[in-house]
Amino acid sequence: MKIEGKVIKYGANVDTDVIIPARYLNTSDKMELASHCMEDLDPDFKSKVEEGAIIVAGPNFGCGSSREHAPVAIKASGIACVIAPSFARIFYRNSINTGLAILECEEAYEKISDGDRITVDFDTGEIKDLTTGIVFHAGAFPEFISEIIRADGLVGYTRAKQNKK
């Protein structure tokens, strides 16, 4: 699968408290969460995010809380993919489990600028900056993670395992 979108760029250590502040965690409604996504970090996020936009950010993206509401809010905002040199581990799990596409690529963070248009090929891990023409390669998922993704998330994977028993 290949996607194309406009880049919204952030720095290092984007934490779950700015992705979705805890004061809004008295609901798990996706669209309500999306309406507050990133508001403490970037008040213009809502106006910038067009359907299919891609976040490119610095290391340790998603650090902090275990709230799954964070990847859920990002995905429901219309973000198609997040690219960063590294992700906090609970955020990484939660993204795989809830179907938010994430890719690890340090060079992409260094060279892609805010507002660039890029394409991402999830099958090959190729990221292409259409604005500059530069091509990057993200690390591939381990086979086990790919299996979860193919099962449409952890729920599908767990059900398939239980049905085998």
Total number of residues shown for the chain: 165
Q: With contact defined as beta carbons under 8 Å apart, do 81 and 33 qualify?
A: no
**Residue 124 found at the interface with other proteins (CB under 8 A):** no
Closest contact distance (angstroms) between CB of 28 and other proteins is 4
Please, which residue, 67 or 109, has the CB nearer to other proteins?
Answer: 67
Residue with tokens 């090959």: 124
Residue 14 or 49: which CB sits closer to other proteins?
A: 14
User: Using CB under 8 A, which of 2, 22, 110, 150 touches other proteins?
Assistant: 22
Residue 106 engages other proteins in binding (rule: CB under 8 A): no
Considering the complex, state which of residue 25 and residue 80 has its C-beta at the smaller distance from other proteins. Answer: 25
Going by C-beta distance under 8 Å and a sequence separation of 6 or more, which residues neighbour residue 41? 10, 14, 18, 19
Comparing C-alpha atoms, which of 29, 142, 130, 162 is closest to residue 93? 142
Q: Does 97 bind other proteins (CB under 8 A)?
A: yes
Using CA atoms, how far residue 133 sits from 10, 55, 116, 153, in Å, is 21, 18, 10, 33
Q: Catalog residues that contact other proteins under the rule CB under 8 A.
A: 13, 15, 17-18, 21-23, 25-28, 40-41, 59-60, 63-69, 86, 88-90, 93-94, 97-98, 142, 144, 153-155, 157-159, 161-162
